[in-house]
Every structure is written in C-alpha cells, then in structure tokens.
Structure 1
Amino acid sequence: MTFKGINKVYFLGIGGIGMSALARWFRHEGYPVAGYDKTPSPLTEELEKEGMMISFQDSTVEIPFDFTTNPDEVLVVWTPAIPKESVLLNFFQAHYPLKKRSEVLGMITKEYHTIAVAGTHGKTSTSALVAHLLKSAGKPVAAFLGGITQNYNSNLILPGKSKEPTLVVVEADEFDRSFLRLFPNEAVVTSADPDHLDIYGDESSILDGFRDFVKLLDKKGKLYIQSHAWYRMGEGLDIPAAIREYGLRSSGIHADNIIAKPGIFLFDYMGLKVQIKGLELHIPGFHNVENALAAIAIAVDHGVTEEQVRAGVKSFRGVKRRFEIHSSVPGHIYIDDYAHHPEEIKACLSSVRAMYPTQRLTVVFQPHLFSRTRDFAAGFSESLSLADEVVLLDIYPAREKPIEGVNSAMLLDGIHTGKKIMMEKAKVMDYLKESQPEVLVTMGAGDIDRLVPGIAAWMNSRTKPDEA
C-alpha cells in the first residue's frame, strides 16, 4: 500500500505517544487529521491546537462528516491498545482502509534513509539524542520519537530546508513485533532483555525477534549494538551489515573517565577512529552515557564534526520523564523516570546513588502491567532494594485485565530496605509532606505522571536555590 489516493487520516488512539507523532507528521504534510482517544490529556490538547479534530466518545456519531463521505480516501490508523470491542474499531474495520501504526511508519521508512533505534530500554533517549546531534549539526532529519523532547517540546522533529536527502530516525518498537515492519538502513540495539513475555512467550523468542529485526539490514547497512545485547544475540547471528559494538566497558566504542556529578555526567568518547574528550552530558546516568555512545557514533559516521558533537551533547536536554530532574536543591532532590522494567530501575537508581551517595533515597514506584509484574517480580524487588525507602502503588493495568494473585504487595517480601510500604496514589502527596524525603524518585509507565506536577511544585517550594 502507498498513500496514493489518501486525502484524510483518522487515528484510533491519537493521544498515544507514537500515534500522535504520526498524526503530527500527516498534519505537517497537509492532510486533514482527526481522531479518537479515551480521555483528554495535555498531548491531545496540543494536537487540537495544531488543527486536529479529536473526540473522546467511542461512537460513530463523533466521526467528522468530511471523513464519512468517501471511506476509500480515508486512511484509518489504529493501535492494539484500542480494545477489540470498540465501536469505532469495528465500524472502521468493516468500511475503511485500516493500518496499524507500525505499518504506516514502515511505509514512511521505506521512502527515506532510516536510522531505527530498538531495545527493551533506552531507545527513546537514544533516538532523541541521535536526532538532536544530527539536527543541531545542520543535517535534515525527521524523527518519530516515543517521548516529548525537552529541546523541541515535541515527539516529532521535522527537517528544515536542505539540498541533502532527509534522514529519518524512528523508534523501533519490539512490542507486537512492530519493528519487523520497518525498512532500516542503520539500526541500533540498546538492550535485548526479557520483556513483553505476554507477546513473545519466553526469553528465547524475544531474542529471535531482535535477531529478525537486525536481519532487515542489507550489506550497505550498519548495526550499532550494545555489548550485553550483542553477547545475548550474537551467537549464530549472520548479517551482512557492518557491526559496531559499544558499551561503557566495551572493547569497541566505549567511555573513559566517567565522572558523576549532580545534574551532569562527564566522559570521554572513545570511538574506533575518533576520540572526543571532556564531553558534558546534562541528562545524568550511566545508562545515558552508554546511550550517548551509540548516538555519537552515528553522528560521526554522518560527518558531524568533533566540535558539533561536543556542542550537541552539551545542549541536549533529554526527554520528558526520562531521568527528568524537577528539583536540584541539595536535600530536596526530585527526579521522575519512566522506568518500568527491573533493569531500567537498576540503571536509574544506581545513577542516583552515584550522584547523591550520602543522602536518603526514597522511591515511589507504580508497577506497569499485571503480566510484567508477575514475570519479573524477583527482579523488581532486587532493583528497588537499591533505595532506602520504597513506596509501592497499585499496578497500572494498561491494556490488561487483572490476573488472580498478582498485585504490588507480592513485591514487598523481596525488597530489602529500611522501609517499604503499600499506598494509594491519592495519599502519596500527604505522605511525602510527612516524611520529608531528601532524594525522591518517582518511577513507572502508567498514570503516576499525574502526580509529578504537584510533587515538583512542593519540592521546589521547600527551599529556594539561593538558600541551599
């Protein structure tokens, strides 16, 4: 399928982070765009301001009239997050051309030189930094991201006018094997840990999924792969693309002289042919230094100079909800992170410990998905034990229905900290005011983000920076 003959686009689940990036792209390309989502959000408000028509009722009455007169000219894009019993989904399936988000993104990547960033964690920050390094160096780049960048305040980055061909940067999502619909010229694999076992079944199957993804590269392609992911995937893997291994302690591309400071990590980039010393990364975390290695390697391979890399790394402000520091006053530190997998939690809390080694660390964590909580319960408990105090919220179900016997409380016994408690989300703010945390981290991929503005305002009100 091509976009020929399509003159309108409707999105089922338009408020999703991946869906909204596509909606913005079609709007930029001149298509009338409409859509449905379950509830309003700051993101849907932004889309409406950009000229998109959005309804929040699962009813065919809400479809704009212009989108009903000639169904063959309307492309309907949907996400598996829409329930099968949805009135709109069943109506569109019967009467309209219907494509999954991943299929449409694949159609776009087929038309451009594409850099696809995959990984069970790290792909949002890495893809955002790849796009930023290229764009800040003047390269024409379009990027479809899984988060809102702080530099551009959007999940879509658009190319400026240039005589050079546009480069496309996309997140390659392993969920539902979506990344197998892409057409990458270059690929990154930031990690390949077990996840989405409700889809893949077991660890070996998800590794096979990542192997199938990198096999999409041809002999002109390049694969940038993190050392542990390469160790897990590499056995028996035969691809024609050039392989560039990277990692904090990799024998290939690696980092030297890493110094963790509050709000900043300093490091040296040690590439295969290029070394760039004294880089300043203002999105802290050892994992972010590792993500930066891949992004820098790609930028260098596309002709970005040492000084452009240095400036781009220093000016990158990260992605909202990815190790986002809301308060940096000593004794009143507040960081919010999207971590929802044991390895992500471990990476986040290890970095926080390095930055604030002597201060009491409190974590408020909302597990995401019943199946993920069940499958990785021991790992969650072990990672959360890096904190001094753990506050557990109820599981955010997302697309799932409850599983008997699976709840947040099952993590408590395995958490070895001075204090660990269960709590309703509505009581968190009062609890924090009573406990007065020194370093606070909120984590999760559900609706815990609704707490962030209030917590941030309170933490910043406790003292003024010039009093620290």
Structure 2
Amino acid sequence: MSPTLPPAMDRPHFIGIGGAGMSGIAKILAQRGASVAGSDARDSETAQALRALGATVHIGHAAEHLAPDATCVVVSSAIRDDNPELAAARERGVPVVHRSDALAALMVGLRPIAVAGTHGKTTTTSMLAVSLSALGLDPSYAIGGDLDAPGSNAHHGTGEIFVAEADESDRSFQKYDPEVAIVLNVELDHHANYASMDEIHESFETFVGKIVPGGTLVVGEHSGARELAARVAGREGLTVVKVGEDADADLRIARITPQGMASEVTVCLGGREHTFTVSVPGRHYAHNAVAALAAGIALDVPAEDLAKALGTYTGVKRRLQLKGTAGGVQVIDSYAHHPTEMTADLEALREAAGDRRILVVFQPHLFSRTQELGREMGEALGLADASVVLDIYPAREDPIPGVTSALIIDAATAHGADVTGEHDKDAVPALVAGMAGPGDLVLTMGAGDVTDLGPRILARLES
C-alpha cells in the first residue's frame, strides 16, 4: 500500500525538525517522496539521519531558511510565535500546519492504532511496531523515541496498519481517527495546559469519541483509565477491552515472573494461556505489552503469533536503557519525569537489582510540573539508595518564582532519603564516580539532557 502525499505537504518545512515527534513525521514524508526541509536549534544524530534520507536540515532559526517553494510549515506546540521562520511563513501566506494535523493526514486510508496515556505511550507504541514488523506486516509507525538508532522513531511501511503515539499534553491526540485506541492510564500532568482532572478526563473522552464506528478502546487497569472506560461504556459502535491483573479484565494477566532484567508474562485469552517474554523489567512494562497484544488482536492479528512476536522487542532508547558498564558499575538511562513513572522504574530496578545499590541522577523537567508534583518526586527518590538532583530543565517554559529543585530535595530529605543537590551538571560525573562502587547501579533519570551524562559517568568510572 502506498498512500499519496497529503495535500500541500510535498515540500514541507519543519521548525524544530530534530524533535522526537517532528522528526518522525518528516521521515515518513521523506520516505513517501516529499522534498523535506527544516531547522533545529542544534545539530544531532537525528538531523544527520534525516539528511541521509535527502532532507535539508538547517542549524539555527532564520527567516531565510524557509525556501521560496515551501508548501507548508509544520510546527509543534513548543514553537513560539516570535520564531523567525514562523513569522516569515505568516508574512508570505505559507500554510502553517500543527504537527498533529500532519500526522493525522499521514494516517488517512490506513488502519490506525493510537496509543495514549500519561505514561507508557512510547514503550507500548514501540512494542507494537516491533512485533507487527516481526510478523511481516510492515506497519507504518511514529514513536516518541528511537528504537535502536537515530531516526528509527518512524517508518513508512507497505502494510495497512499505522501505529502512532498519541500525545495528550496539548490535546493534539484529539485530531486522530483511530480504528483502535489504547489508553494506558489517566493522571494529572501537563499543568500548563490542564487545570484539573476534570479537564483531562474531558480531553480523553474527546479522544475516545474520535474512534471510528466499529472500533476498539483498550484500557489499562489504572484507576483513571477504568474511570474513562466507565464514562464511555455503552457508546454505540465502540468495543471496550479491559486488560490487566484484575479478575474482570477481558485480557487478563495471570502471572508476571521476574527474570533479572526481563519478565515472563502469561495471559488468559479464550480459555487458553499464552506466555511470552518482555525484555525490560517491571510490572508496568508487562502491562504495556499486554495492552499492545490486545490492540493487535482487535485488528485481527492472531494472538499466539503476536504474543511470540512481542518477545522480539528489545527496548527503546531512554526506557531503562543500559548505557554500559565500567568499574563493575552499570549505568542505565530513564526518561521518567512524572512521579508515577519514577516510582515504576525504580521499583522495577529494585526488583531486578536485588541487593545492589541504586544511585539516581535526577533532572526535574518543567517548572510547572515541579511546582505541582515536586513533593511526590522527592518521595519517589526515596526508593533509591542515594540521589543527585540537578536544576530544573526548563524546556519550553519560563522560570516560576520560588520553584526550584529545592522543592524536591526538601521533600526527599523529609522522607529520610539521601539526596544531594548539584547545580553544575559538569560536576556530576566525578561526583557519581566517587559515590559508586562495584556492583552498584547508576540511573540517569529525566526528560531533559540528563541523558548526556551516562557516557560521561562511564568514562569517569573507567579512568
């Protein structure tokens, strides 16, 4: 199957083309034959991977980067109004397209699976992409993280299935019309865009309302997801499939057996048990895999085949990714930045590590999130043996007076945790190398650039 290019997207210009969501759409368009161009604040392996596909990638933002023949400009919610390329597009009358509208256009004519939830979207989308590919179905996919190499976050396939990570942070997931939607969990986050849980539930209900007639909603056993299922129960033309360990689950998890840095998962379906391996530790990753299984079954993929294929998933970058070992110390990287994610990853590592010490380098992400959830972040760090907390990574936000990493450090200390604050990121490798000993496990954690510290810590441990 070879879908045609969406209207006006044969010569798109992406502002922030190196971002996880933007680069995936750019890659698919390039693979479909579009003349792709864009810009990013800095060069990266992702930018280089796009150039290898024929895309033009400028470094820095300037009005002259927008080509005279550009047919549209693609932006995300992170692009500010004063961006010179955005201003040039508006001055010249070039259509401005939000990233979510571009992704929605790429799904037209295919059978979309949209994966949503406050946590676990990237992992679950990746599991589906890998397992469906292993079965020879060649799905298209757009993921918020790289599978195994820069630029591997997206693919234009020849099959009829399109698997997409659906972002709730700015309500952009309401643009999609999936045949199958997964909602893993529903929690309060993205405080700059949502004022209450009621607003979040309303947003997720709108997303579910876009499922095509005859489609399927897969929900995890998280209380917020189950409340969503109750809210949409009885909606005509919608099948709701509950997954989890609860007795009322339609696809029930019978057993999760830890096996070091992996798990063996057994599910009950149609009176039969299916057992498969999940190559990352922790119950939440096992639940993600079962949600992926349910979504594939909803698109008529044989359950036994898909269960086996899920065993070929070997992880995605920044989701408990092993960066290396030096001096007897393992260094692992995690994207976790919400207290629920932090707790889940630390509990998974605690189970896998046994008696080994766990040392965390945590970088808070966003001032608004830290203001609302700093105390819970500090409590989560109590699961580590010791932690180093960096300054807040601002991303798209301006500082909020009085909101600093001290909110997290104070909360962690109040719960008896061993926490050290460090303002100088460059000082962390030496600091951590002095704390760690043979057999210890170091976890770099956060959604910002803390990931860059893993290789530097390893180098210091080797010196």
CA positional deviation for 1:440: 1.2
Name the CA distance, whole Å, in 1 between partners of 2:177 and 2:95: 22
Aligned: 1:443 with 2:451: no
Name the CA distance, whole Å, in 2 between partners of 1:28 and 1:348: 35
Q: Match of 2:398?
A: 401
Cα-to-partner distance string for 1:328-384 (whole Å, 9 max, x where unaligned): 699523221100100000100011111113121111100000000001122111111
Q: Match of 1:172?
A: 166
Counterparts of residues 224-243 of structure 1 (less than 5 Å): 224-228=218-222, 229-238=224-233, 239-240=235-236, 241-243=238-240
Cα-to-partner distance string for 1:13-56 (whole Å, 9 max, x where unaligned): 10111100010111111111110111112211221222211112
Letter of the 1:54 counterpart: V
Q: Which runs of 5+ in 1 are unaligned?
A: 463-468
Assess if the C-alpha contact under 8 Å between 1:362 and 1:439 holds in 2: yes
TM-score w.r.t. the length of structure 2 is 0.92
Deviates more, 1:302-311 or 1:143-152: 302-311
Deviates more, 1:37-46 or 1:226-235: 226-235
Counterparts of residues 403-442 of structure 1 (less than 5 Å): 403-415=400-412, 416-423=415-422, 424-437=424-437, 438-442=440-444
Assess if the C-alpha contact under 8 Å between 1:387 and 1:417 holds in 2: no
Q: 1:389 aligns with which of 386, 401, 407?
A: 386
Q: 2:268 aligns with which of 245, 267, 270?
A: 270
Q: 1:24 aligns with which of 23, 27, 32?
A: 27
Letter of the 1:260 counterpart: P
Counterparts of residues 5-404 of structure 1 (less than 5 Å): 6-63=9-66, 67-68=67-68, 70=69, 74-95=71-92, 96-150=94-148, 154-160=152-158, 166-228=160-222, 229-238=224-233, 239-240=235-236, 241-249=238-246, 251-252=248-249, 253-272=251-270, 274-277=272-275, 279-305=276-302, 308-327=305-324, 332-404=329-401
Q: Match of 1:465?
A: none
Q: Which runs of 5+ in 2 are unaligned?
A: none
Name the CA distance, whole Å, in 2 between partners of 1:385 and 1:326: 23
TM-score w.r.t. the length of structure 1 is 0.91
Name the CA distance, whole Å, in 2 between partners of 1:328 and 1:55: 36
Name the CA distance, whole Å, in 1 between partners of 2:48 and 2:151: 14
Cα-to-partner distance string for 1:307-328 (whole Å, 9 max, x where unaligned): 5334422221111001112346
Distance 1:231 1:299, change over 3 A: closer
CA positional deviation for 1:456: 4.1
Distance 1:250 1:407, change over 3 A: farther
Distance 1:152 1:221, change over 3 A: farther
Letter of the 1:429 counterpart: P
Q: 1:454 aligns with which of 438, 447, 456?
A: 456
SS at match of 1:199: coil
Distance 1:391 1:205, change over 3 A: same
Name the CA distance, whole Å, in 1 between partners of 2:42 and 2:289: 35
SS at match of 1:325: strand
Distance 1:273 1:20, change over 3 A: farther
SS at match of 1:251: coil
CA positional deviation for 1:232: 3.1
Assess if the C-alpha contact under 8 Å between 1:230 and 1:245 holds in 2: no
SS at match of 2:27: helix
Distance 1:428 1:323, change over 3 A: same
> Matched residue pairs, number?
449
Assess if the C-alpha contact under 8 Å between 1:110 and 1:182 holds in 2: no
Name the CA distance, whole Å, in 2 between partners of 1:432 and 1:3: 50
CA positional deviation for 1:386: 0.9
Cα-to-partner distance string for 1:281-300 (whole Å, 9 max, x where unaligned): 11222111000001112233
SS at match of 2:443: strand
CA positional deviation for 1:5: 5.1
SS at match of 1:259: strand
Q: Percent identity?
A: 31
Letter of the 2:228 counterpart: M
SS at match of 1:368: coil
Assess if the C-alpha contact under 8 Å between 1:388 and 1:417 holds in 2: no
Distance 1:6 1:273, change over 3 A: same
Assess if the C-alpha contact under 8 Å between 1:13 and 1:35 holds in 2: yes
Assess if the C-alpha contact under 8 Å between 2:113 and 2:164 holds in 1: yes
Deviates more, 1:238-247 or 1:169-178: 238-247
Assess if the C-alpha contact under 8 Å between 1:197 and 1:203 holds in 2: no
Distance 1:342 1:250, change over 3 A: farther
CA positional deviation for 1:272: 4.9
Deviates more, 1:27-36 or 1:448-457: 448-457
